[in-house]
Amino acid sequence: MNRTDGYTTDVSYPAFFHKEMQPVWLSATAHFQGFSAPDTASHFTFCELGCGLSTNLLVSAACHPNGHFIGVDFNEQHLQIARTAAISCGLANIEFIHADFAEFLRSNHKKFDFMASHGVWSWIAPDHKNALLANVTASLKPGGLFYLHYMCHPGSTELTAFQNVLNVFSHHIPGSSSQRVQMGLKLLRQLSNRGLFNDQPAMLKHLDNLEQKNPAHLAHEFLTDHWNPQHSVDVHSQIGEAGLGYLGSADIFGNLDPSLSIPGNLQGIIRQTQIPPLSETLKDMARGSHQRMDLFQKEPHPCTDQSFAKQINKILFHLMPDAPTKGPVSFSTPIGTIEGTEEILSPLLHSLATGPKSFAELTQIPAYAGQTGLLLQTLQLLMTQEIVHPAKALMTPENARTSALAQWFTDNGITLKIVDECGTALGGSAP
């Protein structure tokens, strides 16, 4: 087992894909929240800090020949795999830099429209975390967007005991990091079978979930000396001191009406909360959130009512492959399954089944006459279920790059279906 500053380096991080990190999604989310966003139809730049195998960046680069993408990681093994993929697929608009965040801060002179970091912030030493944020402060353009994934309370609080056992145990047994995680889970299961969690059913459920996950993923997440879930208010304060403002969640479900994700008896109190940081904390508590995908903007650019309407009206929406073309549709939410009625959904899905439509065009559907708020929330809810997605503003007729990348994914056992029209992919999300 090898570690760098307490972080696992002897096994590769799995090839996960997150739609919430893609430029089209990020720009649309900023618009939904009432802010301007970089134009993905023209040239733009994107930097991922801690890119791992760069699955997300490779999809972005293949779908956006008008963008330039940089991935930074201190694990050369990760970058070798990513470079092989980029070269074999002819992706000349992506580059990979082997460096830690402090080294990249000293050497980089480029500016970026988008910056992102997933699966890093909560697992690295404070010095590396400070260097990550210093890169964002120095290199993100005014109006640029920063995506940050991190583990949060209260959902991750109970995992602290598991993480401590797995990490301490790993220092005293042989094998790779993946093997040590598996041995640690076996120890916890033995203890569970002897009654350790008899009065803690939530812990038993956590253990069941961990046993279903990829051991390499768990090695990166748990075998670190700097494991640190945080309250969102603390993260937002730290990011705010760097000159960025919080726009909302890149997991747009978190931005929708509280009635969709919070128990009914709590909704009124949370709606009445006039202190935004407290409101976010209460939402996390009500949802039992264990991770967040937050979206920030450098020098936030809020829209006027007129510019907001103009931005939203021109967004194109695309029906995803194999999506239903009529209602009803069942939506999975933190408070259970919600049924989207046929009366509301079928007219919308029927319209999108004939081809991409702008928001302005969709407002002409009789079921949504005079109800633009309902239409916008319905589209976002469909986005969370991978039924609908914003389409690229710049369409490319035939993209051999995405075909080549899709084949490379298949050849390397990565189950992803690229949707070039939307600059995204289906499948491959972390459990």
The DSSP bridge partners found for residue 246 are 296
pLDDT tens for each residue of 157-205: 999 999 999 999 999 999 999 999 999 999 999 999 999 999 999 999 9
Whole-number mean pLDDT of the chain?
Answer: 94
Residue 398, pLDDT score: 64
Predicted pLDDT of residue 410: 96
Of 35-49, 272-286, 341-355, the one with minimum mean pLDDT is 272-286
With 50 as the cut, is the pLDDT of residue 30 above it? yes
Query: What is residue 430's predicted lDDT score, i.e. its pLDDT?
Result: 55
Residue 1 has pLDDT above 60, yes or no: no
Task: Give the DSSP letter of residue 35.
Answer: B
For residue 6, what pLDDT is reported?
62
pLDDT at 381: 95
**Which pLDDT score, from 0 to 100, does residue 4 have?**
67
Q: Is the peptide bond before 23 cis (omega within 30 degrees of 0)?
A: no
Structural domains in the chain (count): 2
* Average of per-residue pLDDT across 338-366: 96
- Average pLDDT (276-302) is 94
Domain assignment present for residue 209? The answer is: yes
Confidence of residue 431 (pLDDT cuts 50, 70, 90): very low
Backbone φ/ψ region at 404: left (φ over 0), alpha (ψ -120 to 50), beta: alpha
Residue 63 included in any domain:
no
Residue 236 pLDDT > 90, yes or no?
yes
CB 303 within 8 A of CB 288: no
What is the tens place of the pLDDT at every residue in 400-417?
Answer: 999 999 999 999 999 999
328 inside domain: yes
Residue 291 lies in a domain: no
Range with the largest mean pLDDT of 257-261, 268-272, 323-327: 323-327
* Share of residues in the chain with pLDDT > 70 (%): 97
In this prediction, residues 35-60 reach a mean pLDDT of: 97
398 lies in a domain?
no
Residue 107 lies in a domain: no
Q: Any idea what the Cα angle at residue 155 is, between residues 239 and 279, rounded to 5°? A: 55
Domain assignment present for 111: no
Domain boundary among 167, 201, 222: 222
Residue 10's pLDDT is what? 86
Spatial neighbors of 375 by CB under 8 A, at least 6 apart, are 348, 359, 362, 363, 365, 368
- Read out DSSP for 215-273? HHHHHHHHS-TT---B-HHHHHHHHHHTTEEEEEESSGGGGS-GGGTS-HHHHHHHHH-
Mean pLDDT on 277-285: 92
> Mean pLDDT throughout 132-159?
97
Taking alpha carbons only, the member of 15, 9, 12, 13 closest to residue 413 is 15
> Looking at residues 372-399, what average pLDDT do you find?
90
Q: How confident is the model at residue 14, as a pLDDT? A: 86
> Of the ranges 49-53, 80-84, 276-280, which one carries the lowest mean pLDDT score?
276-280
Dihedral sign, Cα of residue 124, residue 70, residue 105, residue 295? negative
Higher pLDDT: 430 or 363? It is 363
Out of 122-126, 148-152, 164-168, 337-341, pick the least confident: 337-341
Contacts of 336 (CB under 8 A, 6+ apart): none
Q: Is the pLDDT of residue 115 over 80?
A: yes
Q: What pLDDT score was predicted for residue 425?
A: 97
The structure's pTM equals 0.95
Please give the residue range of the domain that contains residue 380. Answer: 314-390
Q: Which whole number is the average pLDDT over 115-122?
A: 96
Those residues with Cβ within 8 angstroms of residue 59's Cβ, 6 or more apart along the chain or in another chain: 17, 22, 405, 416, 418, 423, 424, 425
H or E segment and range at residue 164: helix 159-170
pLDDT higher than 80, residue 335 = no
Model confidence at 396, pLDDT cuts 50, 70, 90, reads low
pLDDT of residue 150: 98
Tell me if 20 is assigned to some domain.
no
